[in-house]
Structure 1
């Protein structure tokens, strides 16, 4: 039993906390640290509420031990019989169980809420099985105000029962009147049935057609009027503190029940018919007083069902969390639509000719498309799942925009700069052109000069530089003079042979100052004895009369 109480104490706050944390972690945009703090706080709340509920429910169960309960596992209607139950109705036992229902004696109408609380503390699933049966014996009531007070108490207790169980229990009004004996009559809505024992039920009209029932009609009709005007109208009165009661059914019968001449029923019957009810009482079996025919009508409406104030609160928390989750999901989807729409509008607003901003907007759209594609493959995040996720439609719009992108055409190739012609240089061996120590060209040197200087041509803007070099044999002064004379001799040959103006030449003698090899060896000294002829750009060089100075980069000869 204590284990069951513990589960009932822990389960409601645990369910509510799980629902709240599901909302926090799945849908709310909160920092992770705050979510973690809320999770810890939820665990503490569960422990505190579970402990409080466990202590309260355990106390109720302990006080409820030894009470009156239906058989274990009973699933039919459980009728809490209150009102006039002091006539030995439950003489044999305070609990009477049949195949169709179970009657439990409630000592007084004021204890109805307490009695039901003990039942539900022991078995909460019985909340949907509870039925209130108010038994009224008009032959025992002499004060109408006292009867109305008991009916008001009934309304208060039913209101408290609704708060306790979460449901308004069906209310059955049972009335027994002194008069000719009749079977139970069940009045529900506009229909009325007469239920003879061990016989099929008849409509009230068909039952009255039976000849033996003629003398019963006055009693029955006034009994119905009494129930309507004294009891049902009182239950239907408007009261701001107690809601009106609309009975599920009214059951009544007449027979040999106790009555006094001062009773409300005696006064009513005499005032309307000048008849008096029979005062002789024949002892009837207790089963005669139980309205079993109403049990078949109650069966579909009285089933085991979890309820109560705690159940309503749990349902309310779950409903609020679900509504909040749907609202958050809708908001997240709206933000997604607004973000993608803003990116698409920016994309459309940028002209195609603005290539750099267009490429930046394209990159943003591509990132959005990749994100939506990943969600399509791996599953939509939970925060978007309850609000009509528009991912496929947005992805299609983004792809259509990306397909319209026209990349920037490549820039035209830059013209290759004209290659600056490298000045030609010819290196001639001095000993092939001159005798040792001499500056006059040899007789056989002309052919070598022609073959060697075929690429050295006079061009406007180019200066033909002829420079002479010697080895380090002899004095530097003599070597310098010799190199200059040899250079001049080659210049004179080129000038006279090619008819080249004097202005196209420059003659230089360097002597031994610019060796190209080591003078310590015969081979090195042979390389150093040379005449070099090269072309050097110079704007005013080699100009003909009345000719504009050409660019030194022009490689065309004349």
Structure 2
């Protein structure tokens, strides 16, 4: 392979790899691990592609054909490859026939079409787009319909290989010459046949057949049309899972070729349908053959030089597909961004203003998005959003309006921690006793000023001892002392018994070490506190007050 070709393959592969990596890293929403593995795979495939093409010498390697004498590259007319029956009498020993409207190039057998096109692609790659194929069929030269159909099947196979070789479908013209009375070329493009007489302007077939001298040819012409439709065209387009159908670009037919002595496909067809027979006396031994030049103007709009090789066209197609994919992914990314901001705004609007903490969390999310959009405004939005309709300014405005419209309420004042009134048991009771001492009333009144019966609050009285003595005795003594204090508060303040809860813990909840006299003195205590409880302490003629409207007011006193 030439160095220039190696450089071209390497450069085109590199451009393709860069295009794929651009799509992968900037647009496809995937993790870095996946992207790294995909990058490695793309690099390995690119190296394999370059090495394969350099080792094999390109897609045309292995094909050895003679140099084809083609027109100069600056000519842009159609180049028709002619294959089929009896080409010697048509080309008269030449390979190429040049005209003002195009060129006829002899390709001989149908099976050589791929070799000829491959040679043209090697010598003149830009002129591949000007190539068309014309198959000439002379039914008088065929004695077996099955053999004729086999040739048409070969034409289908060659058309498939040409499509793979060039990257596009080449126009195929079906040209048929029948024995019979002499007629001009009849060109059928679409559903309107045109008669193209030599050295005369084209004429509609319906007008041509009305001339008196042409009436005698109509039966044979109709059968020629029928033969082309049911044998040639039908074989080219019939269903086949191995080869795609070949649709004729146009059909050209004429009558007047030499009628052989032997029976032929055409003579059998004509006789079985019309009982017509053309003898050797009605046709000259050497009829003049000429090209259907009227087809060249029809092919001209479809013949143009190819810009770049097949590999270049594949690269352009890859770049175009990557660009379309990037546009689509960018649109999806912008849609996801809009959905995310919309969801945060809906959450913000759904939270009541008096719910301070959830509202603050929603506000923080909106501010983070505003900061992100502002940074993108200063530095430019990411590439994954840039190819679609980026709605950054509109989203920023909606977020800013939501933030500016909120006036934060004053946060709730912190509630003071409830305090417990602790009374020294030795100041209220004698050692080992549960009856209140004389003279302890004044101390109780001063210490329990803040402990008042309130609806919805429970007055909890709990007794505690040190670890001196047995556990059961200490628990019983602590409970009796708590009951004694409860009874005094109930009787003195005329408080219903439902407002109290009495507990005796014994020595299970010390607040100091029992190893020292001072610690044991602290553990001998009675604690009084207010605890909220629904439906507790129902005072006469009063409705219970909700516990969240009153604060716990306690005092602490130690002796």
Band of TM-score, shorter chain: 0.5 to 0.7
Q: Give 3-state SS (helix, strand or coil) of 1:229's partner.
A: helix
Counterpart contact for 2:65–2:116, Cα < 8 Å:
no
Q: Give 3-state SS (helix, strand or coil) of 1:106's partner.
A: strand
CA deviation after TM superposition for structure 1 residue 127, in Å? 4.0
Unaligned runs of 5+ in 2: 414-559
The match for 1:27 is: 27
Counterpart contact for 2:142–2:148, Cα < 8 Å:
yes
The separation in 1 between residues aligned to 2:257 and 2:163, in whole angstroms, is: 36
1:192 aligns with 2:193: yes
Q: Give 3-state SS (helix, strand or coil) of 2:280's partner.
A: coil
Q: Give 3-state SS (helix, strand or coil) of 2:17's partner.
A: helix
Report the TM-score, using the length of structure 2 for normalisation.
0.64
Q: Which moved more, 1:100-109 or 1:3-12?
A: 3-12
The match for 1:230 is: 231
Q: Give 3-state SS (helix, strand or coil) of 2:238's partner.
A: coil
CA deviation after TM superposition for structure 1 residue 282, in Å? 4.8
The match for 2:81 is: 80
CA deviation after TM superposition for structure 1 residue 153, in Å? 1.2
The match for 2:367 is: 366
Deviations 1:426-481 (A, max 9, x none): xxxxxxxxxxxxxxxxxxxxxxxxxxxxxxxxxxxxxxxxxxxxxxxxxxxxxxxx
1:171 aligns with 2:168: no
The match for 2:277 is: 275
CA deviation after TM superposition for structure 1 residue 206, in Å? 1.7
The match for 1:14 is: 14
Q: Aligned pair in 2 of structure 1 residues 88, 11: CA closer, same or farther (>3 Å)?
A: farther
CA deviation after TM superposition for structure 1 residue 292, in Å? 0.7
The match for 2:133 is: 132
CA deviation after TM superposition for structure 1 residue 39, in Å? 5.4
Deviations 1:318-369 (A, max 9, x none): 4553454344324433442343234334534555456566555434423322
1:300 aligns with 2:301: yes
The separation in 1 between residues aligned to 2:88 and 2:271, in whole angstroms, is: 25
Report the TM-score, using the length of structure 1 for normalisation.
0.64
Number of paired residues? 410
The match for 1:403 is: 404
Counterpart contact for 2:65–2:115, Cα < 8 Å:
no
Counterpart contact for 1:163–1:308, Cα < 8 Å:
no
The match for 1:49 is: 49
Counterpart contact for 2:82–2:104, Cα < 8 Å:
yes
Counterpart contact for 1:165–1:307, Cα < 8 Å:
no
1:209 aligns with 2:210: yes
CA deviation after TM superposition for structure 1 residue 63, in Å? 4.7
CA deviation after TM superposition for structure 1 residue 190, in Å? 1.6
Counterpart contact for 1:176–1:257, Cα < 8 Å:
no
Q: Aligned pair in 2 of structure 1 residues 357, 55: CA closer, same or farther (>3 Å)?
A: same
Deviations 1:499-519 (A, max 9, x none): xxxxxxxxxxxxxxxxxxxxx
Q: Aligned pair in 2 of structure 1 residues 369, 179: CA closer, same or farther (>3 Å)?
A: same
The match for 1:469 is: none
CA deviation after TM superposition for structure 1 residue 147, in Å? 0.8
CA deviation after TM superposition for structure 1 residue 293, in Å? 0.7
The separation in 1 between residues aligned to 2:84 and 2:175, in whole angstroms, is: 10
Q: Give 3-state SS (helix, strand or coil) of 1:261's partner.
A: coil
The match for 2:340 is: 339
CA deviation after TM superposition for structure 1 residue 372, in Å? 1.6
1:110 aligns with 2:106: no
CA deviation after TM superposition for structure 1 residue 315, in Å? 5.9
The match for 2:60 is: 60
Q: Give 3-state SS (helix, strand or coil) of 1:68's partner.
A: coil
Alignment of 1:101-500 (within 5 A): 101-257=102-258, 259-271=260-272, 272-278=274-280, 281-283=284-286, 288-305=289-306, 310=311, 314=315, 317-318=318-319, 320-353=321-354, 358-359=359-360, 361-407=362-408
The separation in 1 between residues aligned to 2:346 and 2:216, in whole angstroms, is: 91
Q: Aligned pair in 2 of structure 1 residues 245, 124: CA closer, same or farther (>3 Å)?
A: same
The separation in 2 between residues aligned to 1:62 and 1:4, in whole angstroms, is: 19
Q: Which moved more, 1:393-402 or 1:269-278?
A: 269-278
Q: Aligned pair in 2 of structure 1 residues 291, 380: CA closer, same or farther (>3 Å)?
A: same
The separation in 2 between residues aligned to 1:59 and 1:24, in whole angstroms, is: 29
The separation in 1 between residues aligned to 2:117 and 2:375, in whole angstroms, is: 57
Q: Aligned pair in 2 of structure 1 residues 215, 411: CA closer, same or farther (>3 Å)?
A: closer
The separation in 2 between residues aligned to 1:18 and 1:129, in whole angstroms, is: 32
CA deviation after TM superposition for structure 1 residue 57, in Å? 4.3
The separation in 2 between residues aligned to 1:28 and 1:4, in whole angstroms, is: 35
The separation in 2 between residues aligned to 1:224 and 1:379, in whole angstroms, is: 68
Q: Give 3-state SS (helix, strand or coil) of 2:345's partner.
A: helix
The match for 2:477 is: none
The separation in 2 between residues aligned to 1:206 and 1:7, in whole angstroms, is: 60
Q: Aligned pair in 2 of structure 1 residues 224, 402: CA closer, same or farther (>3 Å)?
A: same
The match for 2:472 is: none
Q: Aligned pair in 2 of structure 1 residues 405, 8: CA closer, same or farther (>3 Å)?
A: same
Deviations 1:31-67 (A, max 9, x none): 6687677657645543442332244345836855632
CA deviation after TM superposition for structure 1 residue 411, in Å? 11
CA deviation after TM superposition for structure 1 residue 165, in Å? 2.2
The separation in 2 between residues aligned to 1:410 and 1:223, in whole angstroms, is: 99
The separation in 2 between residues aligned to 1:364 and 1:270, in whole angstroms, is: 90
1:99 aligns with 2:119: no
CA deviation after TM superposition for structure 1 residue 12, in Å? 4.5
Q: Aligned pair in 2 of structure 1 residues 33, 227: CA closer, same or farther (>3 Å)?
A: closer
Q: Give 3-state SS (helix, strand or coil) of 2:90's partner.
A: coil
Deviations 1:395-448 (A, max 9, x none): 122011111122456999xxxxxxxxxxxxxxxxxxxxxxxxxxxxxxxxxxxx
The separation in 1 between residues aligned to 2:412 and 2:59, in whole angstroms, is: 89
The match for 1:5 is: 5
The separation in 2 between residues aligned to 1:4 and 1:175, in whole angstroms, is: 45
Q: Give 3-state SS (helix, strand or coil) of 1:89's partner.
A: helix
Task: Report the RMSD for the aligned CA atoms in angstroms.
Answer: 3.4
